[in-house]
Amino acid sequence: RLFFFASASKLATSLVVLRMVVDGVLALDAPVDRWLPEAALAGRGITLRHLLSHRAGLPLDLPPGVVSYGVPTCWRDIAAALPAIAPVGAVGGGVSYSN
């Protein structure tokens, strides 16, 4: 059965990411391409810190076809869709809540 966790998953994801930062596995200020080359975000300068603070310049929602009933189909679909998503602001600029 599929459960809709809504924004609670953001808290859990942030907790795991920050724990990995403490353990030295991830770095908040390194480009995300380092860990997600599939996302092809090279050149945008997006870091984990930008993603966690909603300052990556990404729009609120993913495009149709990447989500089903408000839930992403899989992480590979998300990564593949990111290069085509037009930014809504400058990376590191103002906060733009993004799913």
Q: Which residues are catalytic?
A: 7
Instruction: Of 78, 72, 25, 26, give the one whose Cα is nearest residue 49.
Output: 26
Give the Cα separation of 51 and 61 in Å (integer). Answer: 14
- What single-letter DSSP state applies at residue 47? B
Q: Which helix (H) or strand (E) holds 72?
A: strand 71-72
